Amino acid sequence: MKKINVKTITISGFLIALNIVLSRIVSIPGIINFGGFPIIFGGIVFGPVVGGVIGVVGDILSHIVRPMGPFMPHFTLTAALTGIIPGILTMVLKNDLKEPKLWKIFVAILIGQVTTTVLMVPYFRYILFDHPFVVTMSKAAIKQAVNIPVYSILIRILIEALYRAGALEGIRAQE
Protein backbone atom coordinates (compact mmCIF):
# COMPACT_ATOMS: atom_id res chain seq x y z
CA MET A 1 0.00 0.00 0.00
CA LYS A 2 1.33 3.41 -0.97
CA LYS A 3 1.24 6.31 1.42
CA ILE A 4 -1.46 8.90 0.91
CA ASN A 5 0.11 11.97 -0.69
CA VAL A 6 -0.63 15.68 -0.46
CA LYS A 7 -2.55 15.70 -3.76
CA THR A 8 -4.87 12.95 -2.49
CA ILE A 9 -5.50 14.82 0.77
CA THR A 10 -6.15 18.09 -1.06
CA ILE A 11 -8.58 16.61 -3.57
CA SER A 12 -10.28 14.65 -0.76
CA GLY A 13 -10.83 17.91 1.12
CA PHE A 14 -12.43 19.37 -1.98
CA LEU A 15 -14.66 16.28 -2.31
CA ILE A 16 -15.70 16.59 1.35
CA ALA A 17 -16.63 20.24 0.80
CA LEU A 18 -18.54 19.29 -2.35
CA ASN A 19 -20.36 16.57 -0.39
CA ILE A 20 -21.43 19.09 2.24
CA VAL A 21 -22.67 21.55 -0.38
CA LEU A 22 -24.52 18.90 -2.39
CA SER A 23 -26.07 17.17 0.62
CA ARG A 24 -27.00 20.13 2.82
CA ILE A 25 -27.19 23.30 0.75
CA VAL A 26 -28.17 22.36 -2.82
CA SER A 27 -30.38 19.40 -1.84
CA ILE A 28 -34.10 19.23 -1.25
CA PRO A 29 -34.44 16.66 1.58
CA GLY A 30 -36.35 13.59 0.51
CA ILE A 31 -36.43 14.70 -3.14
CA ILE A 32 -33.03 15.71 -4.56
CA ASN A 33 -29.67 14.90 -3.01
CA PHE A 34 -26.44 14.36 -4.92
CA GLY A 35 -24.22 14.28 -1.83
CA GLY A 36 -23.17 10.70 -2.53
CA PHE A 37 -21.52 11.59 -5.83
CA PRO A 38 -18.27 13.03 -4.39
CA ILE A 39 -18.00 10.08 -1.97
CA ILE A 40 -18.41 7.54 -4.77
CA PHE A 41 -15.95 9.43 -6.98
CA GLY A 42 -13.41 9.46 -4.15
CA GLY A 43 -13.79 5.72 -3.57
CA ILE A 44 -13.42 4.85 -7.25
CA VAL A 45 -10.47 7.16 -7.92
CA PHE A 46 -8.53 7.01 -4.62
CA GLY A 47 -9.58 3.62 -3.27
CA PRO A 48 -11.89 2.34 -0.55
CA VAL A 49 -10.05 3.78 2.46
CA VAL A 50 -10.04 7.33 1.11
CA GLY A 51 -13.64 6.94 -0.13
CA GLY A 52 -14.70 5.81 3.34
CA VAL A 53 -12.91 8.71 5.01
CA ILE A 54 -14.55 11.19 2.62
CA GLY A 55 -17.94 9.67 3.52
CA VAL A 56 -17.40 9.76 7.28
CA VAL A 57 -15.87 13.24 7.47
CA GLY A 58 -18.42 14.61 5.02
CA ASP A 59 -21.33 13.17 7.01
CA ILE A 60 -20.08 14.47 10.35
CA LEU A 61 -19.26 17.95 9.01
CA SER A 62 -22.60 18.07 7.15
CA HIS A 63 -24.37 17.42 10.42
CA ILE A 64 -22.36 20.17 12.14
CA VAL A 65 -23.03 22.67 9.33
CA ARG A 66 -26.73 21.95 9.00
CA PRO A 67 -28.22 19.34 11.34
CA MET A 68 -31.35 17.61 10.07
CA GLY A 69 -32.35 15.98 13.33
CA PRO A 70 -30.22 14.18 15.89
CA PHE A 71 -26.86 12.74 14.88
CA MET A 72 -27.21 9.06 13.96
CA PRO A 73 -24.00 7.05 13.47
CA HIS A 74 -26.02 4.58 11.40
CA PHE A 75 -26.04 7.07 8.56
CA THR A 76 -22.34 7.79 9.01
CA LEU A 77 -21.77 4.07 8.43
CA THR A 78 -23.76 4.19 5.20
CA ALA A 79 -21.83 7.29 4.11
CA ALA A 80 -18.56 5.43 4.68
CA LEU A 81 -19.79 2.39 2.75
CA THR A 82 -20.90 4.67 -0.09
CA GLY A 83 -17.19 5.27 -0.75
CA ILE A 84 -15.81 1.92 0.41
CA ILE A 85 -17.96 -0.45 -1.68
CA PRO A 86 -17.36 1.18 -5.11
CA GLY A 87 -13.67 1.54 -4.19
CA ILE A 88 -13.32 -2.15 -3.42
CA LEU A 89 -15.29 -3.21 -6.49
CA THR A 90 -13.23 -0.94 -8.74
CA MET A 91 -10.12 -2.70 -7.49
CA VAL A 92 -11.67 -6.19 -7.76
CA LEU A 93 -12.87 -5.48 -11.31
CA LYS A 94 -9.42 -4.05 -12.12
CA ASN A 95 -10.80 -0.88 -13.65
CA ASP A 96 -7.79 1.07 -14.90
CA LEU A 97 -7.98 4.85 -14.47
CA LYS A 98 -6.12 5.32 -17.75
CA GLU A 99 -8.93 3.62 -19.68
CA PRO A 100 -11.93 3.34 -17.37
CA LYS A 101 -14.66 0.96 -18.50
CA LEU A 102 -18.17 2.35 -18.10
CA TRP A 103 -19.69 -1.03 -17.25
CA LYS A 104 -17.18 -1.55 -14.41
CA ILE A 105 -17.96 1.88 -12.98
CA PHE A 106 -21.69 1.15 -13.34
CA VAL A 107 -21.43 -2.21 -11.53
CA ALA A 108 -19.36 -0.69 -8.70
CA ILE A 109 -21.86 2.13 -8.19
CA LEU A 110 -24.90 -0.14 -8.61
CA ILE A 111 -23.82 -2.60 -5.92
CA GLY A 112 -22.75 0.22 -3.59
CA GLN A 113 -25.92 2.27 -3.97
CA VAL A 114 -28.28 -0.70 -3.74
CA THR A 115 -26.52 -1.82 -0.55
CA THR A 116 -26.42 1.61 1.10
CA THR A 117 -29.13 3.87 -0.29
CA VAL A 118 -31.77 1.32 -1.29
CA LEU A 119 -31.39 -1.18 1.57
CA MET A 120 -29.46 0.20 4.56
CA VAL A 121 -30.84 3.74 4.77
CA PRO A 122 -34.51 2.63 4.53
CA TYR A 123 -33.83 -0.08 7.10
CA PHE A 124 -32.23 2.39 9.50
CA ARG A 125 -35.10 4.84 8.95
CA TYR A 126 -37.50 2.01 9.78
CA ILE A 127 -35.78 0.92 13.00
CA LEU A 128 -35.00 4.46 14.19
CA PHE A 129 -38.04 6.45 13.09
CA ASP A 130 -40.63 3.76 12.16
CA HIS A 131 -40.75 4.94 8.53
CA PRO A 132 -42.40 2.27 6.35
CA PHE A 133 -39.54 0.16 4.98
CA VAL A 134 -41.07 -0.88 1.65
CA VAL A 135 -42.24 2.65 0.80
CA THR A 136 -38.88 4.23 1.70
CA MET A 137 -36.98 1.52 -0.17
CA SER A 138 -39.19 1.90 -3.26
CA LYS A 139 -38.62 5.66 -3.38
CA ALA A 140 -34.87 5.17 -2.97
CA ALA A 141 -34.82 2.56 -5.75
CA ILE A 142 -36.61 4.90 -8.15
CA LYS A 143 -34.14 7.73 -7.42
CA GLN A 144 -31.17 5.39 -7.84
CA ALA A 145 -32.52 4.14 -11.16
CA VAL A 146 -31.72 7.65 -12.40
CA ASN A 147 -28.67 8.45 -10.24
CA ILE A 148 -26.64 5.30 -10.92
CA PRO A 149 -26.40 5.69 -14.72
CA VAL A 150 -25.88 9.45 -14.43
CA TYR A 151 -23.16 9.02 -11.78
CA SER A 152 -21.48 6.32 -13.89
CA ILE A 153 -21.33 8.47 -17.01
CA LEU A 154 -20.20 11.60 -15.13
CA ILE A 155 -17.50 9.73 -13.22
CA ARG A 156 -16.12 8.16 -16.40
CA ILE A 157 -16.06 11.55 -18.14
CA LEU A 158 -14.36 13.17 -15.13
CA ILE A 159 -11.77 10.41 -14.79
CA GLU A 160 -10.88 10.59 -18.49
CA ALA A 161 -10.66 14.39 -18.45
CA LEU A 162 -8.63 14.50 -15.22
CA TYR A 163 -6.30 11.77 -16.42
CA ARG A 164 -5.67 13.56 -19.74
CA ALA A 165 -4.96 16.75 -17.78
CA GLY A 166 -2.44 14.88 -15.64
CA ALA A 167 -4.38 15.46 -12.43
CA LEU A 168 -4.67 11.76 -11.61
CA GLU A 169 -1.00 10.86 -12.01
CA GLY A 170 0.11 8.80 -9.01
CA ILE A 171 -2.82 9.52 -6.72
CA ARG A 172 -4.40 6.15 -6.01
CA ALA A 173 -3.35 5.37 -2.46
CA GLN A 174 -4.43 1.72 -2.44
CA GLU A 175 -3.12 -0.30 -5.38
Mean pLDDT (whole number) for 43-48? 96
pLDDT, one tens digit per residue, over 108-128 is 999 999 999 999 999 999 999
The domain that holds 66 is classified in CATH as 1.10.1760.20
Q: Is residue 172 part of a domain?
A: no
How many domains does the chain contain in total? 1
Average pLDDT over the chain, rounded to whole? Answer: 92
Helix (H) or strand (E) holding 83: helix 73-92
Q: Is residue 169 part of a domain?
A: no
Structural domain of 31: 6-164
Mean pLDDT (whole number) for 13-36? 88
Q: Is residue 1 part of a domain?
A: no
Residue 97's pLDDT band (cuts 50, 70, 90): confident
> Can you state the percent helix, strand and coil of the chain, rounding each to 5?
75, 0, 25
Looking at residue 9, its pLDDT comes to 93
Q: Say which residues have a Cβ less than 8 Å from residue 124's Cβ, sequence separation at least 6.
A: 72, 74, 75, 78
- CA–CA dist 41, 35 (Å, integer): 11
Looking at residue 21, its pLDDT comes to 93
Q: Is residue 64 part of a domain?
A: yes
Residue 172's pLDDT band (cuts 50, 70, 90): low
Mean pLDDT (whole number) for 129-149? 96
Q: Is residue 10 part of a domain?
A: yes
